Structure 1
Amino acid sequence: MFKQYIGWKFVLVSMAVVIIVATIWFVSSLSRRIQEEETKKVATWVEANRELLQAPADANLNLAVEIVTTNTTIPLILTNEAGDIIDSRNLDSVQIARDPGYLPGQLDNFKKKHPPFIMEIDARHNIYNYIYYGDSLILKQVRYYPYIQLLVVMLFIGVTLFALSSTNRATQNLVWVGLAKETAHQLGTPLSSMEAWLEILKDNPDNAAMVTELGKDVDRLKLITDRFSKIGSVPNLEEKNVVEQISHMAAYIRKRAPQRVQIGVHTMERDIPAMISPPLFDWVVENLLKNALDAMEGKGTIDIYIANHPAEVTVDVTDTGKGIPKPYYEKVFKPGFSTKKRGWGLGLSLAKRIIEEYHKGRLYVRSSEVGKGTTFRIVLRK
């Protein structure tokens, strides 16, 4: 599902890039053609005005008059040789009346955009007028269209990715909760039976040693069942001594670790309280320690550093194993991701979920170097 989600993201982004590039190219070409047409219209308008000024009294000027009067879209400003504004067309009349600086400001903009057309008024006395023009409203809308479309496409992609992410997360939650509840349910029946057989074995004094070991295994299975049953429900957080909690789990793993692996707990204080769910927190520590053991392949050291800060408690689990490449820092917490040949790749994902969703803390790879080891950090809020 995760790979499929990534694939969909790539397809969506690729489609968006193609649409944006194609649109920008098309609109740029279209706006260039519109601008060329508008320049021709202004040239025709100037020529029609020149004909009206210079034509004999008996000339037929109907066409020239129609050309001059039909320009209602392209803004124009007429100036004399000294640069004084004589007249204007297709500009905001309200702004002209209200703001004395409006027309000079528009004239400066027109001068920057297009060279003026020169209209001869009196050749003998060298009197000329200058016609400056700007872009029509349609041309402006066409130019801004790609940016509006880009915003809409980005918004669409954002909403779609958020919806996909929410759906993916909701599906994962359902899978986690369903798997955990079903596991706890399935373990319940054989556990009850084992407890009953254990009571029968206790009746025979010769079974004392066996009963003790079997009792430990039954208690362990009950703890695992309790952990699974808490997934999906709001855990009951209690104020516990984190040092004692972690030391107990380290001792449990130490007995089951290879002899060439050393596990140490380091802290400046022996009593560091924090709000935790003991069964779930133990599960997180156990997962981190087991991952460290797998990474070291039978030899090395695991050091747990517990520090007390004013607003939080930090727990660093450092091993001398294979290390994690930097691109995998976030991927190791994704469901299904695993560098081991065996396993479902759920341990670290569950650990992160327990710390961040249930304890409102953080779990992340603090540092790692390939061939030297990794440090995972747990942050618990006080």
Structure 2
Amino acid sequence: MFKQFIGWKFVLVSTAVVIIVGTIWYVSSLASKLEEEETKKVATWVAANRELLQAPDEANLNLAVEIITNNTSIPVIITNEAGDIIDSRNLDTNKIARDPSYMTEQLASFKNQHPPFIMEIDAKNNLYNYIYYGDSLILKQVRYYPYIQLIVVALFISIVLVALSTSNRATQNLVWVGMAKETAHQLGTPLSSIEAWIEILKDNDANEQIATELRKDVDRLKLITERFSKIGSVPQLEERNLVEQVENMVAYIRKRAPQKVQLTMHTQEHDIPSMISPSLFDWVIENLLKNALDAMEGKGTIDIYIESHPAHIILDITDTGKGIPKANFEKVFKPGFSTKKRGWGLGLSLAKRIIEDYHKGRLSVKWSELNKGTTFRILLRK
């Protein structure tokens, strides 16, 4: 499902890019043609003004007047040879009345947009008019259209991706919760049966040691069942001594770790109260310690540091294992991501969910270097 989701995102973004690039190319071509047409219209308008100055016959005079009056879209500013503004057309009259600098600013803008047309007034006295013109409103709208479309398409894609991501996450959560609760339910029946057999074994003194060991395993299975049953529901947080809670889990893992692996606790305080769900928090520590053991392949050290600060508690678990590439710092918490051949990629994902969703803390990779080790950091609020 995850790969399919990534595939759909790629197709969606690629399609949007093709549409935007095609639109920008087409609109740019259309804008260039429209600009050429407007330049021709201004040239015709200038020619019409020239006809008026030369006092032509009545027929040409009427045609020139019609051409001049028909220009209602292209803004024009006329200056004399000294650069003084003597006339204008199709500019905002309200802005002209309110802002004395408006005409000067428009003239500077027109000079940057197009070269002026020069209209001879009196060649003997070197009198000339310069006609500057800008883009019409339609041309401006055509040019800005691709960028408006880009914003709209980007907004649309963002909404679709957020919706897909939310839907995908919700589906995954439902699958996890359903799987966890079903596992807890399925474990319940055989556990009850095994407990009954343990009581029968106790009746015979010769089986007392076997019954005791079986009881430990059953208690462990019951703890696992309790953990699974709490997934998907809001756990009840209890005030516990975090140092003692972690020490118990370290002791449990130490008995099952290879002899060449050394686990060490480091803390300046031996009583750090914290609101936690004991069974779920133990699950997180167990996952992190087991991951550390797997990364070291039978030898090395695991150091657990606990620091108490005024507003929060920091718990670092550092191993001397093979490390994690920096590109995978966030990926290791994604469901399904695993570097183990038989891994499901759920341990760290569940650990992050337990710390961040249930304990309102944070679980992250603080540091890691290939062939040197890794530090996972848990941050809990006081």
Supply the AA of the counterpart residue of 1:285.
Answer: I
Partner residue of 1:355?
355
Deviations 1:329-369 (A, max 9, x none): 11111111111111311111111110011111111111111
Deviations 1:194-235 (A, max 9, x none): 111212222222221111111111111110010000000001
Q: Closer, same or farther in 2 for the Cα pair 1:229/1:58, shift >3 Å?
A: closer
Deviations 1:163-219 (A, max 9, x none): 111011101110110011000100111111111121222222222111111111111
Partner residue of 1:73?
73
Q: Closer, same or farther in 2 for the Cα pair 1:3/1:56, shift >3 Å?
A: closer
Q: Closer, same or farther in 2 for the Cα pair 1:58/1:196, shift >3 Å?
A: closer
- Answer with 217-226 or 121-130: which moved more: 121-130
Supply the AA of the counterpart residue of 1:215.
Answer: R
Q: CA deviation at 1:105?
A: 2.1
Aligned-residue CA RMSD in angstroms? Answer: 1.4
Aligned mates of 2:60, 2:254 — CA distance in 1: 109
Q: CA deviation at 1:58?
A: 4.6
Partner residue of 1:276?
276
Please give the TM-score of this superposition, normalised by the length of structure 1: 0.96
CA contact 2:51–2:60 (8 Å) conserved in 1: no
Partner residue of 1:162?
162
Supply the AA of the counterpart residue of 2:195.
Answer: E
Supply the AA of the counterpart residue of 1:314.
Answer: I
Supply the AA of the counterpart residue of 2:286.
Answer: E
Give aligned pairs, total: 382
Q: CA deviation at 1:28?
A: 2.0
- Report the secondary structure of 1:327's partner residue: helix
Partner residue of 1:108?
108
Aligned mates of 1:164, 1:323 — CA distance in 2: 33
- Unaligned regions of 5+ residues in structure 2, if any? none
Partner residue of 1:26?
26
Within 5 A, what are the aligned runs for 1:170-181? 170-181=170-181
Q: Closer, same or farther in 2 for the Cα pair 1:252/1:325, shift >3 Å?
A: same
- Report the secondary structure of 2:225's partner residue: helix
Aligned mates of 1:75, 1:345 — CA distance in 2: 66
Supply the AA of the counterpart residue of 1:165.
Answer: S
Q: CA deviation at 1:57?
A: 4.5
- Answer with 355-364 or 56-65: which moved more: 56-65
Deviations 1:93-145 (A, max 9, x none): 22222222222221222122222111122334332222111110011111111
Q: CA deviation at 1:243?
A: 0.7
Partner residue of 2:52?
52
Q: Closer, same or farther in 2 for the Cα pair 1:194/1:83, shift >3 Å?
A: same
Q: CA deviation at 1:258?
A: 1.5
Supply the AA of the counterpart residue of 2:110.
Answer: F
- Report the secondary structure of 2:43's partner residue: helix
Aligned mates of 2:308, 2:167 — CA distance in 1: 38
Supply the AA of the counterpart residue of 1:201.
Answer: L
Within 5 A, what are the aligned runs for 1:141-290? 141-290=141-290
Q: Closer, same or farther in 2 for the Cα pair 1:57/1:36, shift >3 Å?
A: closer
Partner residue of 2:17?
17
Supply the AA of the counterpart residue of 1:158.
Answer: S
Aligned mates of 2:352, 2:155 — CA distance in 1: 30
Q: CA deviation at 1:82?
A: 2.4
Partner residue of 1:297?
297
CA contact 2:296–2:321 (8 Å) conserved in 1: yes
Q: Closer, same or farther in 2 for the Cα pair 1:56/1:342, shift >3 Å?
A: closer
Partner residue of 1:327?
327
- Report the secondary structure of 1:262's partner residue: strand
- Report the secondary structure of 2:208's partner residue: helix
- Report the secondary structure of 2:263's partner residue: strand
Supply the AA of the counterpart residue of 1:69.
Answer: T
Aligned mates of 1:112, 1:318 — CA distance in 2: 63
Aligned mates of 1:299, 1:56 — CA distance in 2: 104
Q: CA deviation at 1:281?
A: 0.2
Aligned mates of 1:320, 1:135 — CA distance in 2: 67
